[in-house]
A and B are shown apart, each in its own frame.
Chain A
Amino acid sequence: EAQVTQNPRYLITVTGKKLTVTCSQNMNHEYMSWYRQDPGLGLRQIYYSMNVEVTDKGDVPEGYKVSRKEKRNFPLILESPSPNQTSLYFCASSTSGASYEQYFGPGTRLTVT
């Protein structure tokens, strides 16, 4: 089944404890992206990647890191999480750019205390 998977689905952590949210797609997509969703703000793009080893900042990259060492994986790293990073995070992928349909993962609910 073609899909985007994210792990973990739910995470509660403490301020400053490094964490990684994994994202993997099995559709051989070139484009991958991370978003955060907050009430009243919609979804905002954190980082995106057009291909392996190519990443670019989205609208809200501060406090996040990404890497794209393999085509299928695009992990999101929070090196020192803070409470304002409590949010719902979505990973997405598309064939070859944001102009195509993006397929979204199920979301990761992160709480930082």
Chain B
Amino acid sequence: AQTVTQSQPEMSVQEAETVTLSCTYDTSESDYYLFWYKQPPSRQMILVIRQEAYKQQNATENRFSVNFQKAAKSFSLKISDSQLGDAAMYFCAYTPPSNQFYFGTGTSLTVIP
């Protein structure tokens, strides 16, 4: 069974606009961490944002913010003021206390000039 689900294989956004990438996960744990990683064409994996499950407040990093809905097991990423450099594959990820790590299948984001 897929632990982390990204239902949007591809998304596109106009430069300077806002886009939201969806992610749901499955867990019976109460304490865990969620992440969004970015993989540009260079293939380098880069951390975008990290969320601790026990924190109610949604994490933000500059133009990137999340909508963390713990009861719904949903963790979406919002990118504001999209830039050409945001074009990449985005992976949602989850880790329970065991320290195993689970990625979703990714969403390919295209930014249209």
Contact = CB atoms under 8 A, between A and B. Distances in A.
A92 B45 contact: yes
Interface string A33-68: 101000011111100101000001011000000000
A45 B3 CA distance: 12
Interface of B: 4, 6, 33, 43-45, 47, 50, 52, 91, 95, 98-106
A1 to B, nearest CB: 14
| Chain B binding surface SS class | loop
Given A42-B103, A98-B95, 17 more contacts: A33-B101, A40-B105, A42-B6, A42-B104, A43-B45, A44-B103, A45-B100, A50-B99, A59-B102, A97-B99, A101-B47, A101-B50, A102-B47, A102-B101, A104-B45, A106-B43, A106-B44
B103 A48 contact: no
Question: Chain A CB within 10 Å — which of B33, B45, B47, B101 has the most?
Answer: B101
B33 A99 contact: yes
A42 B43 contact: no
Interface of A: 31, 33, 35, 40-45, 48, 50, 56, 58-59, 88, 90, 92, 97-99, 101-102, 104, 106-107
Contacts of A50: 99
Contacts of A104: 44-45
Given A99-B33, A104-B44, A104-B45, A43 B91 contact: yes
Contact of A90 (B45, B47, B95, B99): B45
A25 to B, nearest CB: 14
B50 A42 contact: no
A81 B45 CA distance: 25
B54 to A, nearest CB: 11
Contacts of B50: 101
A18 to B, nearest CB: 26
A41 to B, nearest CB: 6
